[in-house]
Amino acid sequence: MRQFTFSVSVLSLWLLFSQISMADYFLSAGHRIYYSDNQASGQSVVLVHGFGMDSSMWHNADFYNYLDSNYRVISIDLRGHGQSDKPTSVDEYGPNIGLDIVRLLDQLKIESSHMIGFSMGSYMIARLLVTHPERIKSAVLVSGFFPGNSKQEKKFQEHIAEDMLAHGELALAAVAKGWAYDAVTKKQVSAIVVPLQFVFGSEELDDFYHSQKAMLELPRNSQPIKVIAGADHDSQKAAILHLELRSIIIDFYRALKPEL
Protein backbone atom coordinates (compact mmCIF):
# COMPACT_ATOMS: atom_id res chain seq x y z
CA MET A 1 0.00 0.00 0.00
CA ARG A 2 1.21 3.46 -0.78
CA GLN A 3 2.38 5.73 1.96
CA PHE A 4 2.30 9.53 1.92
CA THR A 5 4.01 10.08 5.27
CA PHE A 6 7.58 9.98 6.47
CA SER A 7 8.77 8.83 9.86
CA VAL A 8 9.02 11.52 12.52
CA SER A 9 12.78 11.00 12.75
CA VAL A 10 13.39 11.75 9.08
CA LEU A 11 10.98 14.67 9.06
CA SER A 12 12.67 16.17 12.11
CA LEU A 13 16.00 16.02 10.31
CA TRP A 14 14.53 17.95 7.38
CA LEU A 15 13.21 20.63 9.66
CA LEU A 16 16.81 21.47 10.66
CA PHE A 17 17.43 22.85 7.19
CA SER A 18 16.39 26.47 6.62
CA GLN A 19 15.27 28.02 3.36
CA ILE A 20 18.14 29.77 1.56
CA SER A 21 16.12 31.02 -1.42
CA MET A 22 13.95 34.11 -1.64
CA ALA A 23 10.72 33.20 0.12
CA ASP A 24 7.36 34.85 -0.34
CA TYR A 25 3.60 34.33 -0.46
CA PHE A 26 1.04 34.78 -3.20
CA LEU A 27 -2.74 34.60 -3.18
CA SER A 28 -4.34 31.62 -4.89
CA ALA A 29 -8.15 31.78 -4.95
CA GLY A 30 -8.03 33.76 -1.72
CA HIS A 31 -5.52 31.55 0.11
CA ARG A 32 -1.97 32.54 1.01
CA ILE A 33 0.48 30.06 -0.53
CA TYR A 34 4.12 30.01 0.51
CA TYR A 35 6.92 29.44 -1.99
CA SER A 36 10.65 29.95 -2.46
CA ASP A 37 12.58 30.86 -5.61
CA ASN A 38 16.36 31.01 -6.08
CA GLN A 39 15.67 33.46 -8.94
CA ALA A 40 18.44 31.98 -11.09
CA SER A 41 18.40 32.50 -14.84
CA GLY A 42 17.61 29.68 -17.23
CA GLN A 43 15.16 26.79 -17.09
CA SER A 44 12.93 26.46 -14.02
CA VAL A 45 12.25 23.36 -11.94
CA VAL A 46 9.28 23.28 -9.56
CA LEU A 47 9.61 20.93 -6.56
CA VAL A 48 6.41 19.54 -5.01
CA HIS A 49 6.65 17.88 -1.59
CA GLY A 50 4.84 14.92 -0.04
CA PHE A 51 1.85 14.65 2.28
CA GLY A 52 2.30 16.11 5.74
CA MET A 53 5.59 17.72 4.75
CA ASP A 54 6.64 21.07 3.26
CA SER A 55 9.17 22.60 0.89
CA SER A 56 12.00 22.42 3.42
CA MET A 57 12.26 18.68 2.68
CA TRP A 58 14.17 19.35 -0.53
CA HIS A 59 17.26 20.67 1.25
CA ASN A 60 17.98 17.18 2.51
CA ALA A 61 17.77 15.59 -0.95
CA ASP A 62 21.16 14.83 -2.52
CA PHE A 63 20.18 16.24 -5.92
CA TYR A 64 19.08 19.63 -4.55
CA ASN A 65 22.48 21.31 -4.76
CA TYR A 66 22.87 20.17 -8.35
CA LEU A 67 19.55 21.73 -9.27
CA ASP A 68 20.24 24.88 -7.28
CA SER A 69 23.50 25.38 -9.17
CA ASN A 70 22.09 24.75 -12.63
CA TYR A 71 18.42 25.77 -12.70
CA ARG A 72 15.91 28.23 -11.38
CA VAL A 73 14.59 26.19 -8.45
CA ILE A 74 11.11 26.94 -7.14
CA SER A 75 9.44 25.10 -4.28
CA ILE A 76 5.96 25.42 -2.84
CA ASP A 77 4.19 24.60 0.41
CA LEU A 78 0.98 23.03 -0.84
CA ARG A 79 -2.21 24.36 0.75
CA GLY A 80 -2.85 22.58 4.03
CA HIS A 81 0.91 22.24 4.58
CA GLY A 82 3.87 24.16 5.93
CA GLN A 83 3.51 27.92 5.92
CA SER A 84 0.60 28.00 3.46
CA ASP A 85 -3.02 28.49 4.53
CA LYS A 86 -4.75 25.45 6.00
CA PRO A 87 -8.49 25.50 5.29
CA THR A 88 -10.42 22.59 6.77
CA SER A 89 -13.15 22.16 4.13
CA VAL A 90 -12.70 19.26 1.72
CA ASP A 91 -13.98 21.51 -1.08
CA GLU A 92 -10.78 23.57 -0.79
CA TYR A 93 -8.58 20.61 -1.73
CA GLY A 94 -8.68 17.95 -4.46
CA PRO A 95 -7.88 19.62 -7.82
CA ASN A 96 -7.43 22.99 -6.09
CA ILE A 97 -4.04 21.86 -4.79
CA GLY A 98 -2.73 21.38 -8.31
CA LEU A 99 -4.24 24.67 -9.40
CA ASP A 100 -2.09 26.41 -6.78
CA ILE A 101 0.97 25.14 -8.67
CA VAL A 102 -0.42 26.50 -11.94
CA ARG A 103 -1.19 29.84 -10.31
CA LEU A 104 2.33 29.99 -8.90
CA LEU A 105 3.67 29.70 -12.45
CA ASP A 106 1.30 32.53 -13.41
CA GLN A 107 2.53 34.61 -10.47
CA LEU A 108 6.15 34.14 -11.57
CA LYS A 109 5.27 34.64 -15.25
CA ILE A 110 6.55 31.20 -16.19
CA GLU A 111 4.80 29.66 -19.18
CA SER A 112 5.95 26.11 -18.46
CA SER A 113 8.41 24.42 -16.14
CA HIS A 114 10.14 21.15 -15.37
CA MET A 115 8.69 19.54 -12.25
CA ILE A 116 9.86 17.03 -9.66
CA GLY A 117 7.46 15.53 -7.13
CA PHE A 118 7.62 13.17 -4.20
CA SER A 119 4.77 10.88 -3.14
CA MET A 120 1.65 13.10 -2.97
CA GLY A 121 3.63 15.74 -4.86
CA SER A 122 4.10 13.23 -7.69
CA TYR A 123 0.39 12.45 -7.53
CA MET A 124 -0.47 16.15 -7.93
CA ILE A 125 1.91 16.65 -10.85
CA ALA A 126 0.58 13.46 -12.46
CA ARG A 127 -2.89 14.98 -12.46
CA LEU A 128 -1.57 18.23 -13.95
CA LEU A 129 -0.05 16.16 -16.77
CA VAL A 130 -3.66 15.41 -17.73
CA THR A 131 -5.33 18.75 -16.96
CA HIS A 132 -2.55 21.28 -17.68
CA PRO A 133 0.12 19.54 -19.79
CA GLU A 134 1.07 22.82 -21.48
CA ARG A 135 2.47 24.07 -18.17
CA ILE A 136 4.89 21.15 -17.75
CA LYS A 137 8.12 20.70 -19.75
CA SER A 138 8.99 17.41 -18.07
CA ALA A 139 8.21 15.52 -14.88
CA VAL A 140 10.26 13.32 -12.56
CA LEU A 141 7.80 11.56 -10.25
CA VAL A 142 9.31 9.79 -7.25
CA SER A 143 7.31 7.25 -5.24
CA GLY A 144 3.96 8.38 -6.65
CA PHE A 145 1.17 7.28 -8.99
CA PHE A 146 -1.56 8.60 -11.24
CA PRO A 147 -4.59 9.32 -9.03
CA GLY A 148 -7.36 6.77 -9.42
CA ASN A 149 -10.57 5.65 -7.76
CA SER A 150 -10.11 1.94 -7.12
CA LYS A 151 -11.57 0.39 -3.97
CA GLN A 152 -8.03 -0.05 -2.63
CA GLU A 153 -7.26 3.63 -3.11
CA LYS A 154 -10.51 4.76 -1.53
CA LYS A 155 -9.85 2.57 1.50
CA PHE A 156 -6.36 4.02 1.80
CA GLN A 157 -7.67 7.59 1.56
CA GLU A 158 -10.25 6.94 4.25
CA HIS A 159 -7.62 5.40 6.52
CA ILE A 160 -5.30 8.41 6.18
CA ALA A 161 -8.16 10.87 6.75
CA GLU A 162 -9.29 9.02 9.89
CA ASP A 163 -5.73 8.92 11.21
CA MET A 164 -5.27 12.66 10.66
CA LEU A 165 -8.59 13.41 12.40
CA ALA A 166 -7.54 11.26 15.34
CA HIS A 167 -4.41 13.40 15.69
CA GLY A 168 -6.30 16.68 15.38
CA GLU A 169 -4.89 17.44 11.91
CA LEU A 170 -8.08 18.81 10.40
CA ALA A 171 -6.49 20.35 7.31
CA LEU A 172 -4.53 17.19 6.46
CA ALA A 173 -7.68 15.12 6.94
CA ALA A 174 -9.42 17.36 4.41
CA VAL A 175 -6.45 16.98 2.03
CA ALA A 176 -6.76 13.19 2.20
CA LYS A 177 -10.53 13.27 1.65
CA GLY A 178 -9.96 15.54 -1.35
CA TRP A 179 -7.93 12.89 -3.16
CA ALA A 180 -11.23 11.24 -4.09
CA TYR A 181 -11.80 14.07 -6.59
CA ASP A 182 -8.42 13.80 -8.37
CA ALA A 183 -8.88 10.57 -10.35
CA VAL A 184 -7.81 10.38 -13.98
CA THR A 185 -8.56 7.68 -16.57
CA LYS A 186 -6.32 5.39 -18.58
CA LYS A 187 -7.48 7.13 -21.75
CA GLN A 188 -6.36 10.49 -20.35
CA VAL A 189 -3.02 9.08 -19.23
CA SER A 190 -2.35 7.46 -22.61
CA ALA A 191 -2.67 10.89 -24.26
CA ILE A 192 0.14 12.44 -22.18
CA VAL A 193 3.11 13.45 -24.33
CA VAL A 194 5.18 15.34 -21.73
CA PRO A 195 8.56 13.62 -21.11
CA LEU A 196 8.14 11.64 -17.90
CA GLN A 197 10.30 9.59 -15.54
CA PHE A 198 8.85 7.52 -12.70
CA VAL A 199 11.21 6.43 -9.90
CA PHE A 200 10.54 3.96 -7.08
CA GLY A 201 12.52 2.18 -4.41
CA SER A 202 12.65 -1.59 -4.65
CA GLU A 203 10.98 -1.80 -1.23
CA GLU A 204 7.96 0.09 -2.65
CA LEU A 205 7.14 -2.54 -5.26
CA ASP A 206 4.06 -3.91 -3.48
CA ASP A 207 0.78 -5.27 -4.82
CA PHE A 208 -0.54 -1.79 -5.52
CA TYR A 209 2.54 -0.93 -7.59
CA HIS A 210 2.17 -4.09 -9.67
CA SER A 211 -1.52 -3.37 -10.23
CA GLN A 212 -0.70 0.17 -11.41
CA LYS A 213 2.50 -0.50 -13.39
CA ALA A 214 0.75 -0.74 -16.78
CA MET A 215 -0.86 2.66 -16.22
CA LEU A 216 2.50 4.18 -15.30
CA GLU A 217 3.85 3.09 -18.68
CA LEU A 218 0.98 4.51 -20.77
CA PRO A 219 2.27 8.07 -21.44
CA ARG A 220 3.80 8.26 -24.91
CA ASN A 221 7.09 9.84 -23.84
CA SER A 222 7.45 7.98 -20.55
CA GLN A 223 10.93 6.61 -19.88
CA PRO A 224 11.32 3.08 -18.47
CA ILE A 225 10.57 3.11 -14.74
CA LYS A 226 13.70 3.40 -12.62
CA VAL A 227 13.92 1.25 -9.48
CA ILE A 228 16.50 2.10 -6.82
CA ALA A 229 17.68 -1.08 -5.10
CA GLY A 230 17.15 -1.14 -1.35
CA ALA A 231 15.24 2.15 -1.25
CA ASP A 232 11.87 2.50 0.46
CA HIS A 233 9.25 5.20 0.96
CA ASP A 234 9.44 6.49 4.50
CA SER A 235 12.83 6.06 6.14
CA GLN A 236 16.38 7.30 5.74
CA LYS A 237 16.60 4.78 2.88
CA ALA A 238 13.77 6.49 0.99
CA ALA A 239 14.10 6.75 -2.79
CA ILE A 240 13.80 10.55 -2.61
CA LEU A 241 16.92 10.68 -0.40
CA HIS A 242 18.99 8.12 -2.29
CA LEU A 243 22.25 9.16 -3.95
CA GLU A 244 21.24 7.31 -7.13
CA LEU A 245 18.33 9.68 -7.71
CA ARG A 246 20.74 12.50 -8.56
CA SER A 247 22.20 10.57 -11.50
CA ILE A 248 18.71 9.52 -12.66
CA ILE A 249 17.62 13.16 -12.78
CA ILE A 250 20.81 14.31 -14.51
CA ASP A 251 20.55 11.57 -17.16
CA PHE A 252 16.87 12.34 -17.73
CA TYR A 253 17.53 16.05 -18.21
CA ARG A 254 20.48 15.42 -20.53
CA ALA A 255 18.24 13.24 -22.69
CA LEU A 256 15.78 16.12 -23.03
CA LYS A 257 18.21 18.37 -24.90
CA PRO A 258 17.72 20.39 -27.05
CA GLU A 259 14.25 20.73 -25.48
CA LEU A 260 15.80 21.59 -22.10
Task: Decide if 232 contacts 203 (C-beta within 8 A).
Answer: yes
pTM of the model: 0.91
Per-residue pLDDT of the chain (260 residues; tens, 9 = 90+): 455 444 444 444 444 443 445 889 999 999 999 999 999 998 999 999 999 999 999 999 999 999 999 999 999 999 999 999 999 999 999 999 999 999 999 999 999 999 999 999 999 999 999 999 999 999 999 999 999 999 999 999 999 999 999 999 999 999 999 999 999 999 999 999 999 999 999 999 999 999 999 999 999 999 999 999 999 999 999 999 999 999 999 999 999 976 55
Task: Decide if 120 contacts 50 (C-beta within 8 A).
Answer: yes
Q: Which domains does the chain have, with CATH numbers?
A: 8-256 (3.40.50.1820)
DSSP strands (E only) in the chain? 22-28, 31-37, 44-48, 72-76, 113-118, 136-142, 196-201, 226-228
Task: Decide if 57 contacts 78 (C-beta within 8 A).
Answer: no
- C-alpha–C-alpha distance, residues 212 and 253, integer Å: 25
